[in-house]
Amino acid sequence: MAENKCFIYVAAAASIVTVVLIVILVPLSFSGVEYYEFGFKRQKSTGTVDTKQVYSGGKHFIGPDYEFKIFKATAHYVDLRDVTVFTSDKLEIKLDVQYQYFLREEDLPTLHRNYDLFYDNVVKTSAIDALKGEAPKFSTREYITNRNAIETALYNGVRERLGGICCLQSCSLYEFACPPGCKNSSSCDPSTDKGLWVNVKYFQLGAVEIPSDVEDRFLRSLTLKEDADREKLLQEAQVVRKTTEAMVRDIQNQATEILQEAQVQSELIGTISTANFTANVEKARAEGLKNLYQQLGLTTQEMKNSFDYLRTLRLLENVHFTVDFQQRIVGNFK
DSSP structure string for 279-299: HHHHHHHHHHHHHHHHHHT--
Q: Which pLDDT does position 207 carry in this prediction? A: 94
Nearest CA to 197 among 329, 51, 320?
51
Q: Which pLDDT does position 53 carry in this prediction? A: 94
| Distance in angstroms (rounded) separating the CA atoms of residues 26 and 8 | 26
Q: Which pLDDT does position 8 carry in this prediction? A: 67
* Residues whose CB falls within 8 Å of the CB of residue 31, separated by 6 or more in sequence, listed in order: 59, 60, 62, 66, 67, 68
Q: Could you report the average pLDDT of every consecutive run of 10 residues in the chain (334 residues)?
A: 62 64 54 90 91 90 86 96 92 94 94 94 96 94 90 96 92 89 88 93 93 74 80 89 90 89 87 84 79 76 76 72 57 52
Task: Write the Ramachandran bin of 216: left for phi over 0, alpha for psi from -120 to 50, otherwise beta.
Answer: alpha
- 3 state DSSP class of 312: helix
- The domains found in the chain, sorted by start residue, are 8-72 (no CATH), 76-210 (3.30.479.30)
Q: How far is CA 258 from CA 45, 187, 249, 269, 300, in A?
A: 118, 89, 14, 16, 56
Query: What is the spatial order of strands in the sheet that 37-43 belongs to?
Result: 49-55, 37-43, 66-72
Q: Which pLDDT does position 95 carry in this prediction? A: 96
Pairing of strands 37-43, 30-33: unpaired
| Distance in angstroms (rounded) separating the CA atoms of residues 294 and 302 | 14
| Distance in angstroms (rounded) separating the CA atoms of residues 149 and 122 | 27
| Distance in angstroms (rounded) separating the CA atoms of residues 51 and 41 | 7
Q: What is the pTM of this model?
A: 0.60
3-state DSSP of 59-105 = EEECCCCEEEEEEECCCEEEEEEEEEEECCCCCEEEEEEEEEEEECC
